[in-house]
Amino acid sequence: MSGTKNCPETPRQKMIGMMYLVLIAMLALNVSSEILNGFKLVDDSLHTSTLSINEQNDRLYREFNAMYAQNPQKVGEWLDKANKVRKEADYLFDYIHKFKIELLKLADKDKADTLYARKINRRENLSVAANYALREGHGKELKEKIEHYRDFMISLADKNLGKNEIFSNIFNTENINNKSWEIATFENMPVSAVITILTKYQNDVRNSESKMIQFLKERTDEGDARVNKFDAFVVAESNYVMEGQEYRAKILLAAVDTTKAPNVFINGNKLAGNNYVVTPNRSGEYSYSGYIELPNSMGQLQRFNFTSKYNVGKPAAIISNDDLNILYRGFDNNISISAPGIPTDNLRINVNGGTATPKGSGKYIIKPTANSVEVSVIGNIGGRQINMGSNTYRVRQLPDPKPYAIYKDNNGNIRSVFDGSVHGPTFVAGNPTVTAGYGEDALVQANFTVKSFAIRIGRRTYNSNGPKFSQEQIDIINNLPSGTTLVIQRIMAVGPDGVQRNLSAVAIEIL
């Protein structure tokens, strides 16, 4: 029996990284519109590719049924399996579509596109995917359904190592960088990115369905029908590549006689063998056509035409500041980088206006040396250094922290006082000190050291060097009558940037 040779798939993307940019004023998360537009472009391309695969699958099923009509005894067993494949593929495809609709309902409310799940209003929303997939548990359910579909396809492959490897790679749900598949896929991901990822899974479902139907057709070994009907096939390693990556495809003729080598022509040029390799230099959709020549038993050349297309995406790097969307002078600013489909080990950064110290796994510490910092991401793709994108950050001085006094109460618990009242003897006995910080809920944390402060009682002031209350201050506070206002003022503090700050005063009523 002769038939198509299966071209192995490229490995599944091991990490789809999306980090986050944080707006300091509103403490909200935001992703640049350029990247979100990129996801929309990829999603549209995937839909186009899926429609093309659907047409191919419909043709394969029609051919399978025609084969059954000619020889039900030989084809019946394999057609039953093909129908099970269609049922499983339709179920997972529809489930993923419903998953996308539920996400859009949560994100866009009554404006959600509940029919096609293509239009996204709040595409930058970072909480919806995590809430629905992680907190509500639907991500785990999706993972289980993907694994069920994968295992089902592997079982039908009947120990075909090439097929098993393809399905294992495409539907790989193992941990990614010590994170579960659900967390790596849905945590801190904008709705636009998650919808694109789910569309990619739908594309994978249809693509794997197509490969399995072709595989089952080959197993029927329908000799006469195959030699009397020839089909040209284009088997690509991937229908989606990035600029700078090679697009690879095998041009094959079904039922070719193994004793005769067909000649493959593309755009009038003969290939050396049946491998078609081209490197696109722009993004967009590419198409090509050609024909295969094969002599028949009479020595006459037969020509079989074929056409195919593939999509090329624009490289898009994701650069995020793990702390804020700006950088601070004299501070260890944490930056994470990632790019869809590229391991972080194959990424590096160039920093203009600062220095970078790598921490591993795509994380860096950035220290600015200018008023703005540009971070560029360079990816190693197939041995070529590709500029994946860049982002420019404003540089600001660390904001002033808030001063407060801390002491231990009678139960040994630490108490903080910004403004309010304290019991004088308890405050004095609690080894009080003056400190400064941003608070536990602040997105950026920095250590500040209080160098000196003074307390004012009425018109008199009493000074202290360092954060601790002096003995004189302790004695004064200990003898204050109830109702007296104690003002802590002239608080001098120094942060990690070395800047000395005169902080606001703290007023405390002594009970």
In sequence order, what DSSP letters do the residues of 176-232 get, joined into one string?
A: BTTB-HHHHHHTT--HHHHHHHHHHHHHHHHHHHHHHHHHHHHHT--HHHHHH---E
**What distance, in Å, lies between the first and last C-alpha atoms of the chain?**
97
**Integer Cα distance of 265 and 275 in angstroms:** 11
Which is higher by pLDDT, 312 or 172?
172
pLDDT at residue 18 greater than cutoff 90? no
Fold exhibited by the domain 321-396: Immunoglobulin-like (2.60.40)
20 alpha-carbon distance from chain centroid: 10
Given this model, what pLDDT does residue 23 score?
27
| Domains 230-314 and 321-396 equal at CATH topology level | yes
Write down the mean pLDDT value for the chain.
80
376: nearest Cα among 361, 367, 388: 388
Which is higher by pLDDT, 228 or 447?
447
Residue 442 pLDDT level (bands cut at 50, 70, 90): confident
Fold exhibited by the domain 230-314: Immunoglobulin-like (2.60.40)
Burial class (CB in 10 A: 0-12, 13-18, 19+), 243: middle
**Integer Cα distance of 447 and 450 in angstroms:** 10
Given this model, what pLDDT does residue 3 score?
37
- For range 465-476, the mean pLDDT: 91
User: Which tokens hold the place of 354?
Assistant: 């600062």
pTM: 0.41
pLDDT at residue 372 greater than cutoff 70? yes
**152-207 pLDDT per residue, tens:** 998 888 777 677 788 888 888 898 888 899 898 888 888 888 888 999 999 999 99
Residue 276 pLDDT level (bands cut at 50, 70, 90): confident
Which sequence spans correspond to the domains of the chain?
A: 31-222, 230-314, 321-396, 402-510
**Integer Cα distance of 395 and 71 in angstroms:** 74
Given this model, what pLDDT does residue 206 score?
93
